[in-house]
Amino acid sequence: MIAIIDYGVGNLFSLKCSFAAIGHEAAVTGDPGVIRSAERIVLPGVGAFADAAEKLRATGLDRVVKEEAARGKLLLGICLGMQLLLDRSEEYGLHEGLGLIPGEIKSIAGVINPDYKIPHMGWNALTFRGEKHPLFSGIHEGDYVYFVHSFAGFECDENVIATADYGYPLTAAVARGNVMGTQFHPEKSGEVGLRILKAFCEMKEGTLC
Protein backbone atom coordinates (compact mmCIF):
# COMPACT_ATOMS: atom_id res chain seq x y z
CA MET A 1 0.00 0.00 0.00
CA ILE A 2 1.08 3.55 -0.78
CA ALA A 3 0.52 6.29 1.79
CA ILE A 4 -0.21 9.72 0.34
CA ILE A 5 0.51 12.04 3.23
CA ASP A 6 -2.39 14.32 4.08
CA TYR A 7 -1.20 17.27 6.13
CA GLY A 8 -3.88 19.72 5.02
CA VAL A 9 -2.13 20.96 1.90
CA GLY A 10 -3.90 20.77 -1.42
CA ASN A 11 -6.26 18.44 -3.09
CA LEU A 12 -5.14 14.83 -3.19
CA PHE A 13 -8.08 13.41 -5.11
CA SER A 14 -6.34 13.30 -8.51
CA LEU A 15 -3.21 11.84 -7.02
CA LYS A 16 -5.14 9.03 -5.35
CA CYS A 17 -7.02 8.37 -8.61
CA SER A 18 -3.80 8.23 -10.62
CA PHE A 19 -2.48 5.40 -8.46
CA ALA A 20 -5.80 3.60 -8.82
CA ALA A 21 -5.52 3.99 -12.60
CA ILE A 22 -2.23 2.06 -12.63
CA GLY A 23 -3.59 -0.63 -10.34
CA HIS A 24 -1.97 0.40 -7.07
CA GLU A 25 -3.87 1.05 -3.91
CA ALA A 26 -3.10 4.37 -2.27
CA ALA A 27 -4.48 5.77 0.95
CA VAL A 28 -4.69 9.48 1.68
CA THR A 29 -3.73 9.61 5.32
CA GLY A 30 -2.34 11.70 8.13
CA ASP A 31 -2.14 8.72 10.47
CA PRO A 32 1.50 8.04 11.50
CA GLY A 33 0.66 4.34 12.04
CA VAL A 34 -0.67 3.94 8.50
CA ILE A 35 2.27 5.85 7.05
CA ARG A 36 4.74 3.69 8.96
CA SER A 37 3.10 0.49 7.79
CA ALA A 38 2.89 1.61 4.15
CA GLU A 39 5.28 0.17 1.58
CA ARG A 40 5.90 3.52 -0.03
CA ILE A 41 5.25 7.14 0.85
CA VAL A 42 4.20 10.04 -1.34
CA LEU A 43 4.64 13.57 -0.02
CA PRO A 44 2.45 15.91 -2.06
CA GLY A 45 1.99 19.64 -1.70
CA VAL A 46 0.88 22.86 -3.35
CA GLY A 47 1.02 26.45 -2.19
CA ALA A 48 3.66 28.24 -0.15
CA PHE A 49 6.72 26.47 1.30
CA ALA A 50 6.57 28.07 4.75
CA ASP A 51 2.92 27.21 5.27
CA ALA A 52 3.40 23.60 4.16
CA ALA A 53 6.58 23.10 6.21
CA GLU A 54 4.79 24.49 9.25
CA LYS A 55 1.79 22.20 8.77
CA LEU A 56 4.02 19.18 8.34
CA ARG A 57 5.83 20.06 11.56
CA ALA A 58 2.64 20.86 13.46
CA THR A 59 1.22 17.43 12.65
CA GLY A 60 4.50 15.77 13.65
CA LEU A 61 4.58 14.09 10.26
CA ASP A 62 7.93 15.67 9.41
CA ARG A 63 9.50 13.32 11.96
CA VAL A 64 7.60 10.31 10.61
CA VAL A 65 8.73 11.06 7.05
CA LYS A 66 12.35 11.53 8.09
CA GLU A 67 12.42 8.35 10.16
CA GLU A 68 10.79 6.26 7.44
CA ALA A 69 13.20 7.69 4.86
CA ALA A 70 16.11 6.85 7.14
CA ARG A 71 14.82 3.27 7.37
CA GLY A 72 15.14 3.06 3.61
CA LYS A 73 11.46 3.31 2.70
CA LEU A 74 10.79 4.58 -0.82
CA LEU A 75 9.65 8.21 -0.68
CA LEU A 76 8.43 10.40 -3.53
CA GLY A 77 7.87 14.14 -3.10
CA ILE A 78 5.72 15.87 -5.69
CA CYS A 79 5.89 19.59 -6.55
CA LEU A 80 6.03 21.42 -3.21
CA GLY A 81 6.47 17.99 -1.62
CA MET A 82 9.72 17.66 -3.60
CA GLN A 83 10.83 21.10 -2.49
CA LEU A 84 10.24 20.12 1.15
CA LEU A 85 12.78 17.30 0.78
CA LEU A 86 15.61 19.81 0.37
CA ASP A 87 17.55 21.71 3.05
CA ARG A 88 15.82 25.06 2.92
CA SER A 89 13.77 27.51 0.90
CA GLU A 90 14.09 31.22 0.23
CA GLU A 91 10.40 31.61 -0.61
CA TYR A 92 9.20 34.61 1.45
CA GLY A 93 11.95 34.38 4.07
CA LEU A 94 14.28 31.53 4.93
CA HIS A 95 12.60 28.26 5.92
CA GLU A 96 13.97 24.88 6.87
CA GLY A 97 13.08 21.84 4.80
CA LEU A 98 13.44 18.17 5.68
CA GLY A 99 17.08 18.07 4.60
CA LEU A 100 16.77 14.64 2.98
CA ILE A 101 18.38 15.82 -0.24
CA PRO A 102 20.99 18.60 -0.37
CA GLY A 103 19.82 21.77 -2.08
CA GLU A 104 17.94 25.02 -1.76
CA ILE A 105 14.68 26.35 -3.11
CA LYS A 106 14.98 29.73 -4.81
CA SER A 107 12.94 31.84 -7.19
CA ILE A 108 13.44 31.04 -10.85
CA ALA A 109 13.17 34.78 -11.61
CA GLY A 110 16.92 35.33 -11.34
CA VAL A 111 17.98 32.63 -13.78
CA ILE A 112 15.43 32.23 -16.55
CA ASN A 113 15.20 34.25 -19.73
CA PRO A 114 13.62 37.58 -18.63
CA ASP A 115 11.11 37.35 -21.49
CA TYR A 116 9.69 34.12 -20.09
CA LYS A 117 6.69 34.12 -17.84
CA ILE A 118 6.52 33.18 -14.18
CA PRO A 119 5.22 30.71 -13.07
CA HIS A 120 6.83 28.13 -15.29
CA MET A 121 3.46 26.67 -16.22
CA GLY A 122 2.70 24.07 -18.83
CA TRP A 123 4.24 21.07 -20.53
CA ASN A 124 8.00 20.88 -20.76
CA ALA A 125 10.39 18.15 -21.89
CA LEU A 126 12.63 16.21 -19.51
CA THR A 127 16.38 16.04 -20.01
CA PHE A 128 17.94 13.25 -17.97
CA ARG A 129 21.03 13.87 -15.88
CA GLY A 130 23.56 11.15 -15.39
CA GLU A 131 22.47 7.57 -15.79
CA LYS A 132 18.75 7.17 -16.43
CA HIS A 133 17.08 6.91 -13.03
CA PRO A 134 14.78 3.90 -12.37
CA LEU A 135 11.92 6.39 -11.84
CA PHE A 136 12.13 7.03 -15.59
CA SER A 137 12.36 3.39 -16.63
CA GLY A 138 8.99 3.58 -18.43
CA ILE A 139 9.59 6.85 -20.28
CA HIS A 140 12.03 8.44 -22.71
CA GLU A 141 14.21 11.50 -22.55
CA GLY A 142 12.30 14.36 -24.20
CA ASP A 143 8.93 13.20 -22.93
CA TYR A 144 6.70 16.00 -21.71
CA VAL A 145 5.44 16.52 -18.18
CA TYR A 146 3.30 19.21 -16.57
CA PHE A 147 4.84 21.93 -14.41
CA VAL A 148 3.39 24.76 -12.32
CA HIS A 149 5.97 26.54 -10.14
CA SER A 150 7.78 29.81 -9.54
CA PHE A 151 10.48 28.43 -7.24
CA ALA A 152 12.84 25.54 -7.94
CA GLY A 153 15.65 23.46 -6.51
CA PHE A 154 19.21 24.81 -6.82
CA GLU A 155 22.57 23.42 -5.72
CA CYS A 156 21.15 19.89 -5.68
CA ASP A 157 24.37 18.88 -7.44
CA GLU A 158 24.64 15.21 -8.38
CA ASN A 159 21.19 14.52 -6.96
CA VAL A 160 19.50 16.12 -9.97
CA ILE A 161 18.16 13.33 -12.17
CA ALA A 162 16.28 15.46 -14.72
CA THR A 163 16.03 19.07 -15.82
CA ALA A 164 13.59 21.09 -17.95
CA ASP A 165 14.75 23.89 -20.23
CA TYR A 166 13.19 27.27 -19.54
CA GLY A 167 16.05 29.42 -20.74
CA TYR A 168 17.88 27.68 -17.89
CA PRO A 169 17.99 23.98 -16.99
CA LEU A 170 15.49 24.01 -14.12
CA THR A 171 15.63 21.13 -11.67
CA ALA A 172 12.78 18.82 -12.71
CA ALA A 173 13.53 15.81 -10.51
CA VAL A 174 15.93 14.84 -7.76
CA ALA A 175 16.89 11.58 -6.07
CA ARG A 176 19.18 10.37 -3.36
CA GLY A 177 18.93 6.69 -2.61
CA ASN A 178 15.38 5.80 -1.61
CA VAL A 179 14.26 9.46 -1.55
CA MET A 180 13.13 11.08 -4.79
CA GLY A 181 11.08 14.04 -5.90
CA THR A 182 9.55 15.58 -8.99
CA GLN A 183 8.98 19.29 -9.43
CA PHE A 184 6.37 18.47 -12.08
CA HIS A 185 3.02 16.80 -11.43
CA PRO A 186 3.10 13.17 -12.64
CA GLU A 187 -0.61 12.87 -11.77
CA LYS A 188 -1.32 15.61 -14.33
CA SER A 189 1.20 14.52 -16.97
CA GLY A 190 -0.97 12.06 -18.86
CA GLU A 191 0.38 8.65 -19.82
CA VAL A 192 4.00 9.71 -19.22
CA GLY A 193 3.18 10.76 -15.67
CA LEU A 194 1.36 7.51 -14.95
CA ARG A 195 4.40 5.57 -16.15
CA ILE A 196 6.60 7.49 -13.73
CA LEU A 197 4.23 6.70 -10.85
CA LYS A 198 4.13 3.07 -11.95
CA ALA A 199 7.93 2.90 -11.91
CA PHE A 200 7.87 4.29 -8.38
CA CYS A 201 5.30 1.69 -7.33
CA GLU A 202 7.28 -1.17 -8.81
CA MET A 203 10.73 -0.09 -7.65
CA LYS A 204 12.33 -2.40 -5.13
CA GLU A 205 13.62 -1.10 -1.84
CA GLY A 206 17.36 -1.31 -1.44
CA THR A 207 18.11 -1.39 -5.17
CA LEU A 208 18.92 2.32 -5.28
CA CYS A 209 22.09 3.99 -4.20
Partner 1 sequence: MITKRIIPCMDVRDGRVVKGVNFAGLRDVNSPVELANYYSQNGADELVFYDITASAEGRRLFSDILTETARNVFIPLTVGGGINTLEDFDRVLKCGADKVSVNSGAIRNPDLVGQAARRYGDQCVVLSVDVKRENGVFTVYAKGGRENTGMEAISWIRRCVCEGAGEVVVNSMDTDGVKKGFDIEMLRAVCEAVNVPVIASGGAGGIGDFITLFRTLPGVDAGLAASIFHFGEVRIDDLKQAMLEHGIPARIVKRVTT
Q: Where along the sequence are the contacts to partner 1 (CB under 8 A)?
A: 11, 13-14, 17-18, 20-22, 46-48, 116-125, 144, 146-148, 165-166, 187-191, 193-195
Main-chain dihedrals φ then ψ at residue 163, nearest 5 degrees: -125, 165
For 31-91, the three-class secondary structure string (H helix, E strand, C coil) is CHHHHHHCCEEEECCCCCHHHHHHHHHHCCHHHHHHHHHHCCCEEEEECHHHHHHCCEECC
CB of 69 to partner 1, least distance (A): 27
Q: Which of 68, 79, 95, 156 is catalytic?
A: 79
Confirm whether 209 is a catalytic residue.
no
Give yes or no for a cis peptide into 119 (omega within 30° of 0). Answer: yes
Q: Judged by CB, which is closer to partner 1: 100, or 194?
A: 194
Q: Judged by CB, which is closer to partner 1: 177, or 190?
A: 190
Q: Which of 68, 91, 104, 187 is catalytic?
A: 187
Confirm whether 187 is a catalytic residue.
yes
Confirm whether 158 is a catalytic residue.
no
Q: How, if at all, do strands 144-149 and 2-5 pair?
A: unpaired
Q: Judged by CB, which is closer to partner 1: 129, or 185?
A: 185
Question: 3-class SS at 11?
Answer: coil
Q: Which of 95, 133, 149, 185 is catalytic?
A: 185
Q: Would you please indicate which residues are annotated as catalytic (active-site) residues?
A: 79, 185, 187
